[in-house]
Amino acid sequence: MAIHFDVVRDGKHYSARPDNASAFAIGSKVSYRNKKTGVERFGLSNDGGFFGSDEARKQLYVASDYQTVYPFWCDFIEPTAICEGQSFISLNTYDRARFTFGFGQFAAHVPDGDFIRWFRDMLQRPEVVDYFPNLEVRGGRIVKVEDSKIIPMEDAGSTEPLQLYFNPTLDDVEDAEVIAAAKLIHWTGSHPEARLLQVQHMINTASRLVKEADKRLGLDGRGADICCVVMDVRHQGRAGFDELQAALLAKKPFDALLEVGGHGEPERVKNLKAALVTRRAGLQQKKWSRSAGNFV
């Protein structure tokens, strides 16, 4: 039976109240002005400093919680998780992705990207009927079922229908946007397997990014500390392979890699450096093996 969520608005702060239960924080309305176009967009965020951040901090990804399931890989993704807010319920609906969620900031705008792959698996979990009873996966794609009509929500070229389902416009915060966020936050907080699935998909994403970077940069035999920085740069998209290649050829490649993209994202680079101070030695214990497709 689908859970009904009521939207509770208090100024720029948004909460949601599920059936017969207390309201819980969703996030604050924030604005973002594109420096190039000057266009201002509005959406929700529960990042640090905003209403809801206390809730987000209660649900942090901590590598040691997943050590028995994903030894080493759980450590490998932790620095990036920290840079992305580290919360399983991290939310951002104001930028071009229209909807990003989780400690990996899975973004809804990329066809067959991390959000889409993760959400397809979420839709196959048994409790889906509590949250998105009208969405299904058919033939490997997300569809909306309306009466007997099947409406495609994503394909290999676009995710626009799904983006609009989650976030109808970037001009304001709509009820549909708050409710979609409420469903994902409630689902993630109520079901440990939903959190495990998020970890699983972040590791899948990290593994794909390392394999892709290996093809372009030749990471075979490189330490996992080096690969971790490369993965973080590619995950955030703050630099291309040319800059990464130049850094890998530097006298101190780890230090050079940490500076890649730093001019545009100084805060991110600062956070990554801080996260790696205590974690680098652990990561250096393993090296990337192309033949194994894994760290050995």
Q: Is residue 138 near another protein by the rule CB under 8 A?
A: yes
- Contact between 117 and another protein by CB under 8 A: the answer reads yes
The sign of the CA dihedral 24, 29, 35, 40 is: positive
Least distance CB 162 / another protein (angstroms): 17
Q: Which of 283, 271, 231 is nearest to 85 (CA)?
A: 271
Q: Toward another protein, which CB reaches closer, 64 or 278?
A: 64
Instruction: Using CB under 8 A, pick the residue from 49, 126, 149, 291 that binds another protein.
Output: 126
Residue 128 makes contact with another protein by CB under 8 A: yes
- CA nearest 256: which of 279, 236, 230, 274? 230
Shortest Å distance, C-beta 253 to another protein: 28
Binder to another protein among 11, 38, 49, 139 (CB under 8 A)? 139
- Within 62-101, the residues that bind another protein by CB under 8 A are 68-71
* Minimum CB–partner distance for residue 129 and another protein (Å): 5
Of the candidates 82, 107, 87, the one whose C-alpha atom is nearest the C-alpha of residue 95 is: 107
What's the min distance (Å) between Cβ of 206 and another protein? 11
CB of 65 to another protein, least distance (A): 12
Instruction: Tell me, by CB under 8 A, how many residues bind another protein.
Output: 30
Comparing CB distances to another protein, the nearer of 12 and 286 is 286
Q: Which of residues 192-221 bind another protein (CB under 8 A)?
A: 193-201, 204, 207-208
Residue 59 sits in the site that holds another protein (CB under 8 A): no
Work out how close the CB of 258 gets to another protein at its nearest, in angstroms, rounded to a whole number.
28
Distance of alpha carbon 12 from alpha carbon 29, whole angstroms: 5
**Residue numbers of the site for another protein (CB under 8 A)?**
1, 68-71, 117, 120-121, 124-129, 138-140, 191, 193-201, 204, 207-208
